[in-house]
């Protein structure tokens, strides 16, 4: 098998941890696999470098910031290679450039454009483990770029695609994807398998195992992803294409606390008025999620929508541009609870069960939105954890 293994910041957070990772990589190689390793910076390093840059400038030049930040992953890849060689496991360290990672020129949030894995393939054919500095590439001017948050995961998935790897393993400090947050529901169970689409819904809803960009790319490239812990030998969670028919209807319950409701009342029910509200918000790059519009009999409408709580202040500021006759309210004391499962597509009654569970527990639903594989409800934040536990039990996720 050809494996791409990615080790995140906490997995390589100390010299002792790098030694542990080296042993794991060697073991994988000794079992007869070809291995390409992608590493992050040692945990804390990237933040330290960002702090350094901010010592000089609130808004450091992004080209230089990328060159600065790329140093962290280069250090880890060199050290891991040195550790592997010492264990008698031939290894070679590659920068993003040497790994053939070509990106566009949007420094600090570059997109991968193409990968030329010539040097990696050469090294693999020589029996070497290749250790790639994640998170970084070069643009057409041969300047260092970085891929933004979760960039090393993205490097790993993209390399797995370019190399037609059999598997891409993402090592972190958690065992995999859970039916819900174990800190809320101790009976939460690790999932053996989820689909890309389920993972996308779960990730965007607060199960922070993998960034959406990486899952989207894995889906696009049809790469089997495994997320697992580098701190033990437990099997992780496989993230893959469509599951078999017999799989569970519901995979997990997610809780997203970063939610706020904005309601705009006294809006004239005329074409274009609602559009204007969302235009103002979009100009400020504020992510509007659920939207509800009620039209009253008196010809005025009330529009309610949710935004991330940490974008609320900016949203309210932006809305000041609007007609001053609007009455604008907001409420931070809400959370979003979501039920995610590929099986929903072919099963009716999922939503009605959710609503009766909520009602039995006296939880008032303030807003609802659904996708093909997800039902989300906005509830008062004090009921958030109760809702999660009740739904987890109702759908028998602990079994």
Measured from the CB atom, the residue of 62 and 189 that comes closer to a copy of itself is 62
**Length of the chain (residues):** 399
Measured from the CB atom, the residue of 52 and 242 that comes closer to a copy of itself is 52
Let me know if 184 is exposed, middle or buried by CB neighbors in 10 A (0-12, 13-18, 19+): middle
Residues annotated in the binding site for ATP, as ranges?
6-9, 172-173, 178, 183, 208-209
Distances, alpha carbon 222 to alpha carbons 18, 100, 166, 217, in Å: 30, 21, 10, 8
Residues annotated in the binding site for substrate, as ranges?
46, 73
Q: How far is the CB of 87 from a copy of itself (least distance, A)?
A: 9
Measured from the CB atom, the residue of 83 and 340 that comes closer to a copy of itself is 83
Q: How far is the CB of 91 from a copy of itself (least distance, A)?
A: 8
| 377 SS3 class | strand
Going by C-beta distance under 8 Å and a sequence separation of 6 or more, which residues neighbour residue 228? 169, 170, 171, 172, 175, 176, 234, 235, 236, 237
Q: How far is the CB of 28 from a copy of itself (least distance, A)?
A: 18
Q: Are 124 and 164 in contact (CB under 8 A)?
A: no
- Taking the C-alpha atoms of residue 119 and residue 66, their distance in angstroms, rounded to an integer, is 23
Q: Are strands 300-307 and 327-340 parallel, antiparallel or unpaired?
A: unpaired
Q: How far is the CB of 392 from a copy of itself (least distance, A)?
A: 44
Residues binding a copy of itself (CB under 8 A): 15, 18-19, 22, 49, 52-53, 55-57, 60-61, 63-65, 67-68, 70-72, 74-75, 77-79, 81-83, 85-86, 91-93, 95, 98, 142-144
Q: Are 267 and 276 in contact (CB under 8 A)?
A: no
Q: How far is the CB of 74 from a copy of itself (least distance, A)?
A: 5
Q: What are the E-state strand segments in 25-166?
A: 34-39, 91-94, 101-103, 112-115, 129-133, 136-138, 144-146
Q: How far is the CB of 83 from a copy of itself (least distance, A)?
A: 4
Residues annotated in the binding site, as ranges?
6-9, 46, 73, 172-173, 178, 183, 208-209
Greatest C-alpha distance within the chain = 80
- Taking the C-alpha atoms of residue 274 and residue 261, their distance in angstroms, rounded to an integer, is 16
Measured from the CB atom, the residue of 20 and 322 that comes closer to a copy of itself is 20
Handedness of CA 56, 61, 66, 71 (dihedral sign): negative
Q: Which residue has the tokens 């390589």?
A: 12
Measured from the CB atom, the residue of 86 and 317 that comes closer to a copy of itself is 86
Measured from the CB atom, the residue of 107 and 392 that comes closer to a copy of itself is 107
Measured from the CB atom, the residue of 52 and 234 that comes closer to a copy of itself is 52
With both helix axes pointing from N to C terminus, report the angle between 384-394 and 350-360 in degrees, rounded to the nearest 10.
Answer: 130
């Amino acid at each position: 098998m050809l494996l791409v293994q990615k080790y995140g910041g906490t997995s390589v957070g100390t010299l002792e941890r790098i030694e542990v990772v080296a042993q794991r990589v060697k073991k994988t190689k000794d079992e007869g696999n070809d291995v390409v390793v992608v590493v992050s910076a040692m945990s804390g390093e990237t933040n330290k470098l960002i702090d350094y840059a901010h010592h000089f400038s609130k808004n450091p030049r992004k080209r230089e910031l990328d060159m600065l930040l790329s140093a962290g992953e280069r250090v880890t890849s060199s050290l891991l290679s040195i550790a592997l060689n010492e264990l008698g496991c031939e290894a070679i360290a590659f920068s993003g450039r040497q790994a053939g990672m070509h990106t566009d020129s949007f420094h600090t949030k570059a997109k991968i454009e193409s990968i030329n894995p010539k040097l990696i393939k050469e090294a693999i054919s020589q029996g070497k483990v290749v250790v790639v500095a994640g998170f970084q590439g070069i643009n057409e001017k041969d300047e260092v770029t970085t891929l933004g948050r979760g960039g090393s995961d993205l490097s790993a998935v993209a390399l797995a695609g370019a190399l037609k790897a059999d598997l891409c393993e993402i090592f972190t400090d958690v065992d995999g994807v859970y039916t819900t947050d174990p800190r809320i529901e101790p009976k939460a169970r690790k999932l053996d398998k989820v689909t890309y689409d389920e993972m996308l819904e779960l990730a965007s809803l607060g199960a922070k195992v993998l960034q959406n960009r990486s899952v989207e790319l894995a889906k696009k490239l049809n790469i089997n992803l495994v997320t697992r812990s580098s701190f033990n030998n437990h099997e992780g969670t496989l993230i893959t294409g469509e599951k078999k028919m017999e799989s569970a209807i519901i995979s997990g319950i997610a809780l997203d606390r970063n939610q706020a409701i904005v309601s705009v009342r006294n809006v004239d029910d005329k074409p274009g008025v609602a559009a204007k509200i969302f235009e103002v918000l979009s100009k400020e790059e504020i992510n509007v999620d659920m939207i509800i519009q009620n039209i009253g009999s008196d010809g005025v409408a009330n529009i309610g929508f949710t935004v991330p709580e940490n974008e609320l202040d900016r949203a309210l500021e932006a809305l000041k541009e609007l007609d001053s006759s609007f009455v604008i309210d907001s409420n931070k004391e809400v959370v979003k609870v979501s039920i995610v499962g590929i099986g929903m597509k072919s099963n009716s009654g999922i939503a009605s069960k959710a609503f009766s569970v909520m009602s039995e527990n006296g939880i008032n639903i303030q807003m609802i939105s659904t996708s093909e594989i997800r039902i989300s409800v906005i509830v008062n934040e004090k009921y958030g954890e109760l809702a999660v536990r009740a739904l987890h039990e109702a759908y028998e996720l602990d079994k």
